[in-house]
Amino acid sequence: MSTTIKPPVSQTRSFTTVFLIEMWERFGYYGMQALIIYYMVQRLGFDDDRANLTWSAAAALIYVAPAIGGWVGDKILGTRRTMLLGATILAAGYALMAVPTESVWFLYSALGVIVVGNGLFKPNAGNLVRKIYEGDDSKIDSAFTIYYMAVNIGSTISMLLTPWIKDFVNQHWGRELGWHAAFAVCSFGLLLGLLNYSFMRLTMSHVGSPADDKPVQWGKLGAVLGLSALAVVAAAIILNYESVARAFVILAGIVVAAIFIYLIVIGKKNERPGLIAALVLTVQTVFFFVFYQQMSTSLNLFALRNVDWSFNVFGLHLWTWKPAQFQSFNPIWIMILSPILAWMYTSAGNKGKDLSIATKFALGFAAVAIGFFIYSAAPHFTTEPGKASSWIMVWGYGFSSLGELLVSGLGLAMIARYVPARMGGFMMGAYFVASGISQYLGGVVANYASVPKDITEPLQTMPIYTNLFFKLGVAGIVCTVIALAVLPLMRKLNMQHHEHNVATDTGVPTIGSEE
């Protein structure tokens, strides 16, 4: 009797499985994000400020939730199972948004389901990629670069598709159905991702946390589902009551500050320079996400009211976009700029001239500032009174996306570089919570460009937006100056951190180290 030995599953096939479900998950999320502000303002009749704060509070919760979901995957259900559970819950959340109702509580509950689903899916999908290439540092950077592309492929397609579906269905089947048809497509994308995973699941059978290798413990699964239901209710309450959302953000800020202080205090003396450096860069990241949140709030509404949606070159009309589609320039620019920056980093590193993360953060803020100055120049590049050329959005998004790559794109690398491995998971959670706080603050800032309902003329709304964009450009310059001012401190902290690592690697104790 002979036994057949199955060949080992290649890393590439395992990675492709996760890559594809991540792509479809991002398809659903960004397809929803492209329309959500418009849906609240145009379909549900929200004022600008209510729509901005509602979505920004939801975005904050969406960023905070992975700090808990990663722990559920590692310790309770298993990384694979938790990722699949999250994808299923996300599909249900988008399906709820596809129900044609004007109930505000129904919307808040659907967003709460999306918050829970994202919290369970996002950290565990990333952890699976790490586990696939565990112990192979030469491949993991490349894998995450390609993985990041999945985000941008999925988001680009959906941001172009869902606004078109919304208008097409509204035009042919009635104004109330287009929005919900678009949200249904987001749910369908998740279902396709889950179906694809089911066909390729054997490529992942050897990847996961220890809990994945054990039979499903139904009691624990029931507890997770029960707590998830309570989390949906809590999220709906936070979204409905502005005072509760504000209190949540303040509490989250206190928690993040306490985590950093606690880790710095309990850390060994030779670990503290790296932890302080991580704290400084995390604070800078919080400021960056305030700028970033404008894409789905103030910039989105600016595109609706004050941008000419047609693209012309030398007077020749090329095509016309939907206002919600302008957000897709962000992932498009990311895909264009990512390989260029990767080549520049590698080339500079080979010559021993690579810039520090702190310097890249400063350059990122400068790029963001230029982007907002471009938006603020809109009145000087109009095609008709109050309507800016669409090229303002193209180049503004170009510089904003460059800033994103230099700041947000390096945020997780910063945690990996400066934080001891034994604190990595804890600090990663704090980083996501800090990012979530800034999402809400971004909505607060966007409200400085809220347009009253009795103002409808483009010539009236244009200065409301461009004044905010100019002030954000100035704020970007201030952040750049601050980032440059702390460079000497960052160099000192980086040098101390590097000296500790060298001493540890060579087995030589660091002077003054504490055990």
pLDDT of residue 504: 54
The 10s digit of each residue's pLDDT in 30-41 is 999 999 999 999
Residue 507 has pLDDT above 70, yes or no: no
Residue 108 has pLDDT above 90, yes or no: yes
Residue 317 has pLDDT above 90, yes or no: no
What are residue 316's DSSP bridge partners?
313
Contact indicator for 151, 22 with CB cutoff of 8 Å: yes
| Domains in the chain: boundaries | 9-240
State the burial class of residue 343 (Cβ atoms within 10 Å of its Cβ: 0-12, 13-18, 19+). Answer: exposed
State the burial class of residue 512 (Cβ atoms within 10 Å of its Cβ: 0-12, 13-18, 19+). Answer: exposed
Per-residue pLDDT, averaged over 263-284, amounts to 76
Indicate the range of 322-326, 484-488, 495-499 predicted with least confidence: 495-499
Task: Specify the higher pLDDT residue, 318 or 188.
Answer: 188
pTM score, whole prediction = 0.86
Task: Specify the higher pLDDT residue, 76 or 480.
Answer: 480
pLDDT category at 280 given cuts 50, 70, 90 is confident
Using CA atoms, how far apart are residues 305 and 459, in angstroms rounded to an integer?
Answer: 10
Looking at residue 314, the DSSP 8-state letter turns out to be T
pLDDT of residue 469: 97
Of 48, 44, 58, the C-alpha closest to 448 is 48
Of 370, 294, 278, 365, the C-alpha closest to 326 is 294
Using CA atoms, how far apart are residues 17 and 193, in angstroms rounded to an integer?
Answer: 9
The 10s digit of each residue's pLDDT in 325-349 is 999 999 999 888 888 887 887 777 7
Using CA atoms, how far apart are residues 172 and 192, in angstroms rounded to an integer?
Answer: 26
Mean pLDDT highest for which of 127-136, 139-148, 256-265, 469-478? 469-478
List the Cα angle 71/72/77 in 5-degree steps. Answer: 135
Contact indicator for 98, 183 with CB cutoff of 8 Å: yes
pLDDT of residue 1: 45
Q: 3-state secondary structure string, 93-135?
A: HHHHHCCCCCCHHHHHHHHHHHHHHHHHHHHHHHHHHHHHCCC
H or E stretch at 387: strand 387-388
User: Could you tell me the two tokens for 507?
Assistant: 């087995």
pLDDT of residue 131: 77
pLDDT of residue 413: 61
Per-residue pLDDT, averaged over 20-35, amounts to 92
Secondary structure (3-state) at 403: helix
pLDDT of residue 141: 57
pLDDT of residue 515: 29
Residue 2 has pLDDT above 60, yes or no: no
The 10s digit of each residue's pLDDT in 125-142 is 877 877 777 665 556 656
pLDDT of residue 300: 94
Using CA atoms, how far apart are residues 103 and 186, in angstroms rounded to an integer?
Answer: 20
List the Cα angle 197/201/207 in 5-degree steps. Answer: 115
* Integer Rg of the chain from CA: 23
User: Could you tell me the two tokens for 456?
Assistant: 């409808």
Of 176, 22, 168, 25, the C-alpha closest to 93 is 25
State the burial class of residue 420 (Cβ atoms within 10 Å of its Cβ: 0-12, 13-18, 19+). Answer: middle
> Is the sign of the CA dihedral 407, 408, 410, 415 positive or negative?
positive
Indicate the range of 238-252, 275-289, 387-401, 452-466 predicted with least confidence: 275-289
pLDDT of residue 132: 77
Of 85, 88, 84, 115, the C-alpha closest to 18 is 84
State what percent of residues in the chain have pLDDT above 70: 86
Q: Average pLDDT of the chain?
A: 84
DSSP calls for 27-79: HHHHHHHHHHHHIIIIIS---HHHHHHHHHHHHHHHHHTHHHHHHHIIIII-H
Contact indicator for 417, 360 with CB cutoff of 8 Å: no
Residue 92 has pLDDT above 80, yes or no: yes
Contact indicator for 337, 399 with CB cutoff of 8 Å: no
pLDDT of residue 286: 84
pLDDT of residue 39: 95
> Is the sign of the CA dihedral 424, 429, 434, 439 positive or negative?
positive
The 10s digit of each residue's pLDDT in 248-257 is 888 888 888 8
CA dihedral 256, 84, 155, 115 (to 10 degrees): -40
pLDDT of residue 268: 75
Q: CA distances (Å), 34 to each of 38, 155, 184, 314, 460, in order? A: 8, 9, 14, 29, 25
Residue 483 has pLDDT above 80, yes or no: yes
Exposure class string for 138-172: b at 16+ Cβ within 10 A, else e: eebeebbeebbbbbbbbbbbbbbbbbebbeebbee
Neighbours of 398 (CB within 10 A): 20
Using CA atoms, how far apart are residues 81 and 120, in angstroms rounded to an integer?
Answer: 10
Indicate the range of 163-177, 365-379, 426-440 predicted with least confidence: 426-440
pLDDT of residue 497: 58
pLDDT category at 9 given cuts 50, 70, 90 is low
Contact indicator for 174, 198 with CB cutoff of 8 Å: no
Residue 266 has pLDDT above 70, yes or no: yes
Using CA atoms, how far apart are residues 54 and 240, in angstroms rounded to an integer?
Answer: 8
Of 30, 22, 325, the C-alpha closest to 185 is 30
pLDDT of residue 512: 34
pLDDT category at 258 given cuts 50, 70, 90 is confident
pLDDT of residue 104: 93
Using CA atoms, how far apart are residues 340 and 331, in angstroms rounded to an integer?
Answer: 15
Indicate the range of 58-67, 226-235, 291-300, 363-372 predicted with least confidence: 58-67
Using CA atoms, how far apart are residues 113 and 116, in angstroms rounded to an integer?
Answer: 5
Per-residue pLDDT, averaged over 394-412, amounts to 84
CATH classification number, 9-240, choose in 1.10.10.10, 3.40.220.10, 1.20.1250.20, 3.30.460.10: 1.20.1250.20
Using CA atoms, how far apart are residues 293 and 2, in angstroms rounded to an integer?
Answer: 61
pLDDT category at 269 given cuts 50, 70, 90 is confident
The 10s digit of each residue's pLDDT in 408-454 is 766 666 565 666 656 665 676 777 788 889 999 999 999 999 998 88
pLDDT category at 397 given cuts 50, 70, 90 is very high
Contact indicator for 26, 292 with CB cutoff of 8 Å: no
Task: Specify the higher pLDDT residue, 20 or 149.
Answer: 20
